Amino acid sequence: MAGHIDCYMDLLSLYSFLAFEYLLRRRDVLATHGVSIDFHPFFLGGIMKNAGNKPPWTVPAKKDYAHAFEDKRAKQYFGVPDLMNPPVFPILTLLPLRALCYIKATFPQSTSEQAWLAFFRAYWIPPHANIDDPDTVRDVLRDTKLFSDAEVDAICAAAQEKQWKDVLLENTTKVVEQGAFGAPWMWVRDASGKEEPFFGSDRFHFVWQYLGLPWKDMELLPREAKL
């Protein structure tokens, strides 16, 4: 068995954060099946505009439902109990996304993923850093202890350069052509080389089925069973 998952994310997307955590925790098991994962920054605002999609927080009923029920359920299911809605939302995430494009191209995959995690946690977990601010981006990178001061300077400079603006644009354009309308967006290749898209953080059972992996569906237990 073999395959590959390209996962496209924006730091603004709560469900990108949850999908990222979910996939990282299952990387070792996926590797035993020959399935690899790669994470890519893209700009969610561009995706939504191109698809004519409306952010859920702009639809009052969806916003109220998420705040009252869905967010709490997701925190429990995905095991991220400290997650809370940021006081400033939405924000423009272009700067940290461009920084992540540079980090991905320059450093090992594990370093790139730890940088993703640092930015996600900085924004979504109290005290909620304002990651669209250049000084805050610098602080988040420095606090990871992953980079030297010179490397932090280089990353912050790259985030302002056309080359990395273009990389983010190319990533976004690529998934637009794939039909993306939201985040996270996954492009999955199976062992035969066939590829299909998958959307969201709650459809991994469809991904496993597509890849031909052994998996167990959610099962309702009898009353006497212990949780």
Beta-strand runs (E) in the chain: 3-9, 35-41, 185-189, 195-199
Residues identified as active-site? 13
Radius of gyration of the chain (CA): 18
Distances 86 to 4, 20, 62, 106, 179 between C-alpha atoms, Å: 32, 18, 17, 30, 29
Structure tokens belonging to residue 148: 């030297």
The whole-angstrom separation of Cα 112 and Cα 213 is 27
Distances 52 to 6, 181, 182 between C-alpha atoms, Å: 23, 8, 10
